[in-house]
Structures are given as structure tokens and as C-alpha cells.
Amino acid sequence: MLENDTIAAIATPSGEGGLGIVRLSGPGTFDVLPKIFVPATPVSWPSVAGHTLHHGRIVRRTDDGPPSPFDDVVVGVFRAPRSYTGEDVAEITCHGGTLIIQSVLDLCLKSGARLAEPGEFTKRSFLNGKLDLVQAEAVADLIAARSESFRKTAFDQLQGRLSKTLQELRRELLDILAHLEANLDFVEDDIPALEKEPARIRICALEERANALLESYREGKILREGIRVTLTGRPNVGKSSLFNALLQEDRAIVSDVPGTTRDRLEESLIVQGVSVVLHDTAGLRSMTDGSSSGVETEGIRRARQSLERADVVLFVIDSSSEWTREDSDILEMIRGKNTVWVLNKSDRPPRFKPDDIIALAGKGVPSIPASAVTGDGVPVLKQAILKSLPALSQGLRSMEKETPPSITNRRHAGLIETARDSLRSAAAAIGRGEADECVASDLRKALEALSELTGDKVVEDVLKTIFSRFCVGK
Ligand code: GDP
């Protein structure tokens, strides 16, 4: 699987910037570089030291006449195997103009390099054993991280914490399997039979660890994808004002005419490092009293969908006016959902006593007095949103202390689930006193799943899918 050509790609985002980087990697790196780069101080490329910087000029050579200088650059040099890819690498830092960067790349390609595929640098790093597959995938996650929590998990994975746990599981599994297979191969020899109960206990312990990882995936999913919060309530209670207050900016249109709020808005904010995706619904007015038409408008459909998908529903009421039939109807619709009540317009004299709210909302349902106009109560509301999700609180707590590493990737979760199920089945087979061969076959399945996960045994197609997620130049 090892590749031996030399690849090149732009490693910085497109557009203008102070600097741009073109990266070269492969055994021919120091054949390509001297063709396009003239260092200010002469360098003997075949023996150039790694981890060094070289100032000089990119030049364009023509068939006739001297080479013409093109840009002033600094080239970072890394020698195999002490580089990101494990190969010889050069990173050309040029001025960050689109034309310049593209031209430097073109010069590399004309001088013997091939354009890298998406993720190919990281793929080579994996193929050369610098990173295992889990770590390689963490690179893409780290780059894509939009929230502190996700960044931390991805960085942990890149550092190899998850890989270490997975390797421990694999080793333990291999050990149990080796025992069992020794038994199978040498039944006639005088090898002590596998002591069944201790093996079963070891397998169950592995199953439990796999389960814990799967559990972390569930928690991590919220951290990674963010919480979906949907604002609902009858017209004019202050949903769009609150939406803005939560975002601390005035983006939505606020109006005094009931029912004129635009269809739906979606914005993201970060609360305590967690990404919160905020939806505002419209159309609920017709949703509750417009049954006469019998037809659901697109707005209503989307409002319903948003409510269905919400992790938290913010039920907004106007605490300065009477409870209405419409409030009741909407409340009925969101029954059973994870709800936080917002007693909005708290800057005005209240019409409700705390007991009234408990009577309406039910015991234990959080209700937060707030004013979208003055901003009072908005920070408390943000906290209440996070608190309403126990799995999230758990996830946040784990972020603060040193906890076992967590799973964030669906591919990983799928394979761990397969491993967990096979382990469960192996333990059950022992419990039923089935033949060692059946147990071994389940254990092998579990091992295969773990090996595919870490990349110890993985097919090219899987690699292709994984690395196609990456950007070119990574
Ligand atoms: P929506 O229809 O639920 O989205 O309500 P809007 O956000 O459009 O607000 C309706 C009216 O209530 C506007 O005139 C807002 O200025 C006003 N409003 C919203 N929140 C508050 C609040 O906390 N206090 C007061 N006094 N007025 C508010």
C-alpha cells in the first residue's frame, strides 16, 4: 500500500492572506525543490538537515535565458521519517495571494510532483505508521471543530488516548483468543483446557468497556453536533426578541403585528463551549386555530419538524399578560418534550404567581423569568438550557476531569457496537457450554471490528471513504 511518488498541494485556505503554504511530500521532494527554489545561502539538498528553515526565492526557469525570480519565500524542511507524513517534506511559505500560491503549486507539478488527493498527506502519515486510523480521522475532526468541547475531544484522539484504550482492548482480546485457539489446535496435546469461567469474566469485562465507549458516543454526539433548541409560543410573546437576546445581536426582524414573524430562523451560539443551534418557529398560530383549512402550510410543517427534532423546547409566554387558549394549545402540542419555560417580559408587572406556573407546567419543569428587552435572565436561561440535558451535563463534567477517552465518530461507534455484540455473544456461548470453536469465532469477529477501527487491518475502500472527507493539502 505504500506510495512512492511525490505529492504537492496548497495547504492554506483559498483567498488572499498574509502567507500561503504549498506542501511537498515524498521521496522526490529534494529533486523537485532545487528546480524551483534558489536559497539565499547555498544548500546541499541531498544531505540537508531536517527541521530547518531556508530563505530564498522561487524561480521560473525558461528554456532560454536565466531563471526569473518569482516570489520571496521561506521553505521548512523535514527529513523522513521525522515529518508529518513520515517522508521527506518541504513546506514552501510564500506570499498569500491566490495567483502566487497557485503558481508555486504549478511549478511543483511541472517539476515532477503530482497533485495530492484530499487527505493524502494524512493518509501517508497513516500508511507510514506515524498515526493510526483513529488519530488520522481526528485530524479532520480537529480542523472541523467549531466548539471547544469538540476540539478537545478531537485533540485527545489525535494525541492517541482513544487509540491506547482500543489497543488495550485488542491485546486483551488477542490474549483470550490465543488461549482458546491453542486449545483448539492442540486438543490431543497435554495443554490445560481453557478455564472457562475466568475467560467468560474477562470477556464480560471487555464487553463492559466497549459499552462505556458507546455510551460516550451518545454523550459526545450532543457535544459534537450541538444542542438543537426550538423557541415556541404564541405570537407576540417575544420569541424573536428573545432569539436576538440569546444571540446578543439584532438580526431577526421584530414586529408589533402578531403573526408577522418570518418563517423560521436558525442561528448558532456557543454556551460554555457547547454549540447551541437555535430555531425560531412561526406558523404556530395557524397550527392551533387554522384547522379549518385542514391543510398544513410549509411553515407549520417546518415548525412541527423543528419541534420534533429539538433537544430542548423553549416555551415562551408573556408573563405580563393573561394566559390564553393559544398558550394552552401550544403547551398541549409540546407535552412530553424536554421543555424550559421562559416567562418573558419580566420587566413588566407579572400576571402570574410562581404557583400558577407550577400548576401549568408541572413540578420540576424549569421556568426562567427573563426580559428580552433588558436582557435580564438571559444568562440564567442559557444555563437552564444546558442543565435540562443530563447527558450533556455528564459530557461537560467529563470534559473537566481526566476521564476515559470518548468516541465521536459514527464509523468508530458502529465497529465498537459490532465488537460489543460479538463479545456478548461469546460470553453467552461460554455460559451455555458451547464448543470452543463457537466462542473463538465470536471473538475473532470482535477482533476484526477492533482491527478495522484502529486500521491494523483495513481495506483500501474504507481508507478511500475516510480520507475523502479531508480537504486537499491535509
Ligand atoms: P414574537 O411574535 O413572539 O416573535 O414576538 P416579538 O419578539 O416580535 O415581540 C413582540 C413585541 O413584544 C415587540 O413589540 C417586542 O418589542 C415586545 N417584547 C418582546 N420581549 C419583550 C420583553 O421582554 N419586554 C417587553 N416589555 N417587551 C417585549
pLDDT in tens, 137-163: 999 989 988 777 788 889 999 999 999
Size (the chain), residues = 474
Of residues 303 and 74, more confidence is placed in 74
CATH of residue 166's domain is 1.20.120.430
Confidence of residue 294 (pLDDT cuts 50, 70, 90): very low
Residue 466 within any structural domain of the chain: no
Q: Ligand 1 centroid to 38 CA: how many Å?
A: 66
Give the CA dihedral 333, 247, 378, 259, nearest 10 degrees. Answer: -40
Say if residue 112 is in the same domain as residue 172: no
Tell me how far apart the alpha carbons of residues 468 and 255 are, in angstroms, rounded to a whole number: 46
At a CB cut-off of 8 Å and minimum separation 6, what does 441 contact? none
Residue ending a domain, choose from 365, 391, 417 = 391
Residue 191 pLDDT? 47
Ligand 1, atom 25, residue with closest C-alpha? 345
Q: Ligand 1 centroid to 241 CA: how many Å?
A: 6
Which of 4, 22, 3 lies closest to 12 in space, CA to CA? Answer: 22
Element (H, E) at 410: helix 410-431
Q: Ligand 1 centroid to 204 CA: how many Å?
A: 57
For the chain, the distance separating the N- and C-terminal CA atoms, rounded to the nearest angstrom, is: 19
Residue numbers of the domain that contains 75: 7-131
Say if residue 159 is in the same domain as residue 297: no
Ligand 1, atom 9, residue with closest C-alpha? 238
Q: Ligand 1 centroid to 157 CA: how many Å?
A: 45
Tell me how far apart the alpha carbons of residues 283 and 285 are, in angstroms, rounded to a whole number: 5
pLDDT digits (tens, 9 = 90+) for 53-62: 999 999 998 8
Say if residue 232 is in the same domain as residue 375: yes
Most confident range (mean pLDDT) of 138-142, 184-188, 421-425, 433-437 is 421-425
> In testing the pocket of ligand 1, which one of 236, 256, 287, 351 has its CB within 8 Å of the most ligand atoms?
236
Residue 112 grid coordinates:
515532477
Residue 85 pLDDT? 97
Say if residue 215 is in the same domain as residue 256: no
Q: Ligand 1 centroid to 268 CA: how many Å?
A: 21
Residue 396 within any structural domain of the chain: no
Determine the residue type at 49. A
Say if residue 298 is in the same domain as residue 379: yes
Residue 198 within any structural domain of the chain: yes
Residue 260 pLDDT? 46
Ligand 1, atom 10, residue with closest C-alpha? 236
239 lines ligand 1 (CB under 6 A): yes
261 lines ligand 1 (CB under 6 A): yes
Residue 175 within any structural domain of the chain: yes
Q: Residue 431, SS3?
A: helix
Does 403 have pLDDT greater than 70? no
Residue 306 pLDDT? 85
347 lines ligand 1 (CB under 6 A): yes
Residue ending a domain, choose from 131, 164, 192 = 131
Does 288 have pLDDT greater than 70? no
345 lines ligand 1 (CB under 6 A): yes
Does 111 have pLDDT greater than 60? yes
Does 89 have pLDDT greater than 60? yes
Does 346 have pLDDT greater than 90? yes
Residue 261 pLDDT? 45
Strand partners, 54: 75
Residue 244 within any structural domain of the chain: yes
Residue ending a domain, choose from 96, 131, 166 = 131
Say if residue 126 is in the same domain as residue 209: no
Q: Ligand 1 centroid to 365 CA: how many Å?
A: 23
Residue 91 pLDDT? 98
Residue 236 grid coordinates:
407576540
Say if residue 44 is in the same domain as residue 74: yes
236 lines ligand 1 (CB under 6 A): yes
Confidence of residue 3 (pLDDT cuts 50, 70, 90): low
Confidence of residue 312 (pLDDT cuts 50, 70, 90): very high
Q: Ligand 1 centroid to 277 CA: how many Å?
A: 21
381 lines ligand 1 (CB under 6 A): no
What is the rounded average pLDDT of the residues 335-345? 94
Residue 343 pLDDT? 96
State the pairing for strand pair 312-318/227-232: parallel
Query: Could you tell me the CA-to-CA distances from 81 to 24, 26, 381 in Å, in that order?
Result: 14, 11, 52
Q: Considering Cα of 334, then 304, then 229, then 223, what sign does the dihedral take?
A: positive
Q: Ligand 1 centroid to 126 CA: how many Å?
A: 55
Give the CA dihedral 357, 358, 363, 368, nearest 10 degrees. Answer: 40
Residue 166 within any structural domain of the chain: yes
- Do residues 228 and 311 lie in contact, with contact meaning Cβ atoms separated by under 8 Å? yes
- Range with the poorest average pLDDT among 383-387, 446-450, 457-461: 457-461
Say if residue 446 is in the same domain as residue 415: yes
320 lines ligand 1 (CB under 6 A): no
255 lines ligand 1 (CB under 6 A): yes
Mean pLDDT, the chain, as a whole number? 87
Ligand 1, atom 2, residue with closest C-alpha? 236
Structural domains counted in the chain: 3
Query: Could you tell me the CA-to-CA distances from 465 to 161, 468, 469 in Å, in that order?
Result: 24, 5, 7
pLDDT digits (tens, 9 = 90+) for 243-258: 989 987 544 445 455 5
Q: Ligand 1 centroid to 350 CA: how many Å?
A: 15
Tell me how far apart the alpha carbons of residues 450 and 434 are, in angstroms, rounded to a whole number: 24
**Residues 42-63: b if buried by 16+ CB within 10 A, e if exposed:** ebebeebeeeeebebbbbeeee
- Do residues 445 and 115 lie in contact, with contact meaning Cβ atoms separated by under 8 Å? no
Give the CA dihedral 417, 420, 426, 430, nearest 10 degrees. Answer: -140
Residue 245 grid coordinates:
437576546
Does 184 have pLDDT greater than 90? no
291 lines ligand 1 (CB under 6 A): no
235 lines ligand 1 (CB under 6 A): yes
Give the ligand 1 atom nearest the CA of 234: 3
What is the rounded average pLDDT of the residues 431-437? 89
Strand partners, 9: 23
Query: Could you tell me the CA-to-CA distances from 459 to 154, 174, 392 in Å, in that order?
Result: 24, 21, 35
Cell 528553515, residue located: 53
DSSP 65: S
Give the ligand 1 atom nearest the CA of 346: 23
Confidence of residue 291 (pLDDT cuts 50, 70, 90): very low
CATH of residue 249's domain is 3.40.50.300
Say if residue 361 is in the same domain as residue 260: yes
Strand partners, 339: 313
Residue 474 within any structural domain of the chain: no
Q: Ligand 1 centroid to 266 CA: how many Å?
A: 18
Ligand 1, atom 24, residue with closest C-alpha? 345
Does 195 have pLDDT greater than 70? no
As a whole-number percent, the residues of the chain with pLDDT over 70 amount to: 86
Say if residue 51 is in the same domain as residue 196: no
Residue 449 pLDDT? 96
Tell me how far apart the alpha carbons of residues 377 and 342 are, in angstroms, rounded to a whole number: 9
As a whole-number percent, the residues of the chain with pLDDT over 90 amount to: 59
At a CB cut-off of 8 Å and minimum separation 6, what does 273 contact? 147, 148, 149, 396, 399
Say if residue 409 is in the same domain as residue 313: no
Residue 252 pLDDT? 45
262 lines ligand 1 (CB under 6 A): no
Residue 418 within any structural domain of the chain: yes
What is the rounded average pLDDT of the residues 103-126? 96
Does 452 have pLDDT greater than 50? yes
Give the CA dihedral 125, 130, 135, 140, nearest 10 degrees. Answer: -30
142 lines ligand 1 (CB under 6 A): no
Residue 348 grid coordinates:
413588566
Does 265 have pLDDT greater than 90? no
Give the ligand 1 atom nearest the CA of 260: 2
What is the rounded average pLDDT of the residues 125-131? 95
Say if residue 195 is in the same domain as residue 164: yes
Residue 407 C-alpha from the chain's centroid? 10
Residue 465 pLDDT? 86
What is the rounded average pLDDT of the residues 170-192? 76
What is the rounded average pLDDT of the residues 114-140? 95
CATH of residue 39's domain is 3.30.1360.120
Confidence of residue 394 (pLDDT cuts 50, 70, 90): low
